[in-house]
Amino acid sequence: MSGNELPKVIDKSQADIDAAIDAIRASNIPAGTKDFAISCIKLAVWLPKALLEHKIKLSNLRKLIFGLGRRNKKKSSNDTDPSDVKNESKDCDSLNPIEESLPVSTEAVEATNQVSAPGHGRLPHSAYVNTVDHQLSIPVLRSGDLCPAQCGGKLYPIEPGILVRVKGQNLAAVHKYWIEKLRCALCGYLVSADIPDEVGNQKYDTTFKALLALQKYYVAIPFYRQAYFQSLLGVPLPTSTQWQLVEEVGGAALLVFPTLERLAANGDVIHNDDSHVKITDLIRHNRLHPNKERTGMFTTGFISRTNQRDIALFYNGTSHAGENMERLLNKRDAHSGTVIQMCDALSRNLPASFKTILCNCLSHGFRKFDDLKDFYPAQCIHVIDLIAKVYEFDEKTREMTKLERLAYHQAHSEPIMDQLHAYLLNLMESKQVEPNDSLGKSIKYMLNHWHELTQFLRIAGAPLDNNIVERSLKIPIRGRRTWLFYKTEYGAMIGGVLTSIIYTCVLSGINPLNYLIALQEHKNQIVKEPERWLPWNYQDALATLSLAA
């Protein structure tokens, strides 16, 4: 077989594989050939399963097959194979999956694929909110004039036609003002043109600073990349200048951040989870102090939910989710009662001294079986279908109150979950599954955390999964993939505050650009009454100021 030919993929059950190995052992071929053939079969069976269960990375597999290579010979830039770069990028993507899929049944997927969504694919004009409006009037005619076709009728207004033209512009529109100056030839008196108020007294306006913050902490464009791109467009923008401007936006955001923390601490349900982050100052400190007890660094994400709104909070540093949860609940009012906490089953997600109504993520359990369905199709697909039915029921409760949702799940989802529990328990007790195998571990995860996984059947308002905070953590994760690290703990704090403000605006349906502009322009008022300048009510505060003016 040549190197360009792909091997044929053949699906075999475990019984077929065992029968093939027994047949090879019973054959008359030489012993060395027998061992070689059996090893090839076992490798072909083990390899895809090991990759799927993340027991081995593609980079380690490459070293295992081809060796470490010659490290002393540096490859010149002219010898770089573009295909190698492409393959490496594909490998990196496959090793770091962050896309999340909700559990759905296979029938639902097939139905979705068969029926195409209606529509022509064009966005309506109402989808464009921030627009520059222009009125195109008829110059010689008005409502009530005689018809120009001379039919004797009169004209009356109807719904105007609308044209949408999207025009490109640079991130920075640089305005130069040439100030005329005159000097007296006798006494040297200097006369300068007046500078209008709209010119302002700052080189960089609030809109530009807010855009930089969004580009950095939401779109995840590093400062150095933005600097290089802007230099190509003729607008020099050094990285140090960008940081100073973003820091100013962060200072304005810090005025409302404590109020957001207090409101989030008093939420009905708090979702929390961790991701990794790199802070170079802490990495350097860890190297200088090798005996340091904790060396890990975390980005903790919170989504606090009430009937009125959702609030997002992000913290970067050495504290993990449980410690950040402890600090957040210290701000909770005593009369607010016990909070419902949704997280995965890691013990570090729990606060040390606060009692919470703990819920665990059902979607985590679903994904464990979804990863193994190619190896244990009968057991995994049955589990997947049962969990998918629960999610279908949950989808129907979107418009219900908490008590109505609880009653609906108790009537429809509880029998399904009881059936799932009995099925998983039977697999373990009847010894159909090896307890220490990957499928056995997935079943034990579900059984060991069954109470926390089924809180939605007992507690009004308890969620099924932690997907909302996992989706929110994609924002700092994509930042980590592009700018790689924070330099200092202070910079990491500013990044967490701005990411919190921006994503809270996203959850509230508020334009984050306009909100960041308002925070910068009204610092004096925000210091006095920060609770009036939150994303969902700052426009009322602006209207009050406008009326007073």
Q: Annotate 330-370 with DSSP letters as a single string.
A: TTS-GGG-PPEEEE-S-GGGS-SS---EEEE-HHHHHHHHH
With beta carbons less than 8 A apart as the criterion, state whether 427 and 433 touch. Answer: yes
Q: Determine the Cα–Cα distance for residues 28 and 51; give it in Å rounded to an integer.
A: 34
| Element spanning 523, H or E | helix 523-528
Q: Determine the Cα–Cα distance for residues 289 and 287; give it in Å rounded to an integer.
A: 5
Euclidean distance between the first and the last CA atom of the chain, given in angstroms as a whole number: 83
Q: Determine the Cα–Cα distance for residues 515 and 511; give it in Å rounded to an integer.
A: 6
Strand-pair partners of 359: 342
- DSSP assigned state of 483: T
Q: Determine the Cα–Cα distance for residues 187 and 482; give it in Å rounded to an integer.
A: 60
Q: Residue 322 region, left (φ>0) first, then alpha (ψ -120 to 50), else beta? A: alpha
| Residue-level pLDDT, tens digit, the chain, 549 residues | 555 566 777 777 788 888 888 888 888 888 888 888 888 888 888 777 777 666 566 666 776 666 665 544 444 444 444 444 444 433 434 333 333 334 444 444 344 444 555 556 678 888 887 788 888 888 888 889 898 888 989 888 888 888 888 888 788 888 889 999 999 899 999 999 999 988 888 999 999 999 999 999 999 999 999 999 999 999 999 999 999 999 999 999 999 999 999 999 999 999 999 999 999 999 999 999 988 888 999 999 999 999 889 999 999 999 999 999 999 999 999 999 999 999 999 999 999 999 999 999 999 999 999 999 888 999 999 999 999 999 999 999 999 999 999 999 999 999 999 999 999 999 999 998 988 889 999 999 999 999 999 999 999 999 999 999 999 999 999 999 999 999 999 999 999 999 999 999 999 999 999 999 999 999 999 999 999 999 999 999 999 998 987
Q: Determine the Cα–Cα distance for residues 241 and 224; give it in Å rounded to an integer.
A: 11
Q: Determine the Cα–Cα distance for residues 538 and 511; give it in Å rounded to an integer.
A: 11
* CB neighbour list of residue 495: distance below 8 Å, 6 or more residues apart: 216, 217, 314, 316, 476, 479, 486
Please give the angle made by the CA atoms of 386, 390 and 396, to the nearest 5 degrees: 145
Q: Determine the Cα–Cα distance for residues 39 and 35; give it in Å rounded to an integer.
A: 6
CA 65 centroid distance within chain = 35
Please tell me the predicted confidence (pLDDT) of residue 59: 67
With beta carbons less than 8 A apart as the criterion, state whether 345 and 455 touch. Answer: no
| Selection from 199, 131, 240, 253 nearest residue 517 by Cα | 253
Is the pTM higher than 0.75? The answer reads yes
Q: Determine the Cα–Cα distance for residues 321 and 358; give it in Å rounded to an integer.
A: 14
Annotate 176-226 with DSSP letters as a single string: -----EEE-TTT--EEEPPPPGGG-S-SS-HHHHHHHHHHHHTS---HHHH
Look up residue 230 and give its two tokens.
């802007």
Q: Determine the Cα–Cα distance for residues 549 and 539; give it in Å rounded to an integer.
A: 15
C-beta neighbour count of 518 within 10 angstroms: 20
CA 205 centroid distance within chain = 29
β strands within 502-541, DSSP E: none
| Element spanning 228, H or E | helix 223-232
